[in-house]
Amino acid sequence: MKAVVYEGNGKVVLKERPAPVILDDKDAIVQVTLTTICSSDIHIKHGAVPKAVPGTILGHEFVGRVVETGKAVKKVRPGDRVAVNVETFCGECFFCKRGFVNNCTDEHGGWALGCRIDGGQAEYARIPFADNGLTVIPDHVTDEQALFNGDILSTGYWAAKIGEIKPADTVAVIGAGPTGLCTMLCARLYTPGKIIAIDTDEYRLNLAKEKGLADITLVPGRDNIEETVRNMTDGRGADTVFEVAGGQDTFQTAWMIARPNANVVIVAMYEEYQMLPLPDMYGKNLVFKTGGVDGSYCREIMELTACGKLDAGFLITHRCRLGEIMEAYDVFENKRDHVIKYAVKP
């Protein structure tokens, strides 16, 4: 089968690989019907994900059809359409029992798919702990609507939840890329008073506004971010700040625009160390919560998608076949042609 393989040293190639087989009773084999490229794949390519194993098939955000299940799999059957969770988790360890599935202590626990074990930028994928990692897609939900269920929508949903947004709050989201937009989409579930979206890309900000996700958009360089946020909040600052950009000075912006005692949720995956200037923030009594996602809410998200309350399908701006994915990588990595997300059909 065709598959995208991370070969180490900044190299990602499309090549032939054998189709996966069941290795454990809890495994399922999924025929991938739609897959995508995530910025985490680009981080792997850049060597910024230390756990990534060269030789692994990339892809951790995809949907498909179950073709085979191990003896111990109970919740999914061959023929089921499913969305795949970015995280594989045992469901039984200390962390899984508390919903912290990102820290599952099983050897395949946490973000393993498309990082440490073969993922879904391929025609087929093996899913360990299939009962935990696969979410059945209702018939009336399309592959495109379900594509982001297990990764960026899970991330936005988890971020919004730990952000503890109260009705009428002022929420600031730094970064209007795919995950930033999902964070805004999920923050809306908590009826904030206003969402302020901050990004250097005005096209993405306009999309956030057009889709009703952001009320106010700010561009660093054009607008004085800190002053504007303060002016909008009686001098206080934002009640919850989400840092989803991972840029050079976006961490600093995040804590500076937060009001005292705010939650600052760090969703971004940085490629460099960040400064935490404690003397400068002394007395602000901020609460920092850091990523990565605990993908524990895939079923809830699917239900919200099925009833029309969470539809991230609009993120798909580009479509191609698996055979053309290397060109897609180039467009996506270099943010050409106003790309937000690709939908790639094997």
Give the range of 17-25, 32-40, 225-233, 259-267 binding Zn ion by CB under 5 A. Answer: 32-40
Residues 33-72 that bind Zn ion (CB under 5 A): 38, 40
In the complex, least distance from residue 110 CB atom to Zn ion, rounded to whole angstroms:
9
Closest distance to Zn ion from the beta carbon of 290 (Å)? 16
Distance in Å, CB of 17 to Zn ion, minimum: 21
Q: Which of 38, 207 has the CB closer to Zn ion?
A: 38
Residues 83-102 contacting Zn ion, CB under 5 A: 89-90, 93, 96
Give the list of residues 6+ apart from residue 4 with CB closer than 8 angstroms, or none: 12, 13, 14, 57, 58, 59, 121, 122, 325, 326, 329
In which residue are the tokens 């089968």 written?
1
The residue from 80, 123, 151, 169 that contacts Zn ion (CB under 5 A) is 151
Q: Which is nearer to Zn ion, 92 or 249 (CB)?
A: 92
Considering the complex, what minimum distance in angstroms separates the CB of residue 235 from Zn ion? Answer: 37
Specify the residue, 86 or 225, whose C-beta has the smaller distance to Zn ion: 86
Q: Report the residue number, 44 or 218, with the smaller CB distance to Zn ion.
A: 44
Among 4, 104, 113, 160, indicate the residue that binds Zn ion (CB under 5 A).
104
Q: From the CB of 152, what's the least distance to Zn ion, in Å? A: 6
Nearer to Zn ion, 38 or 84 (CB): 38
Alpha-carbon torsion, ordered 207, 136, 14, 335, to 10 deg: 10
The closest of 155, 122, 168 to 2, measured between CA atoms, is 122
Nearer to Zn ion, 107 or 280 (CB): 107
Report which residue type is found at 327. Answer: E
- DSSP for 143-203, written as a single string: HHHHTTTTTHHHHHHHHHHHTT--TT-EEEEE--SHHHHHHHHHHGGG--SEEEEE-S-HH
Smallest separation (angstroms) from Zn ion to the CB of 141: 20
Distance in angstroms (rounded) separating the CA atoms of residues 291 and 274: 14
The size of the interface with Zn ion (CB under 5 A), counted in residues, is 9
List the one residue out of 48, 56, 80 whose CA is nearest residue 5.
Answer: 56
A 10 A CB-CB count for 12 gives: 20
Q: How far is the CB of 265 from Zn ion (least distance, A)?
A: 17
Strands 2-8 and 11-16, by their bridges, are: antiparallel
**In terms of CB distance, is 175 or 192 closer to Zn ion?**
175
Residues of this chain that interact with Zn ion (CB under 5 A) are 38, 40, 89-90, 93, 96, 104, 109, 151
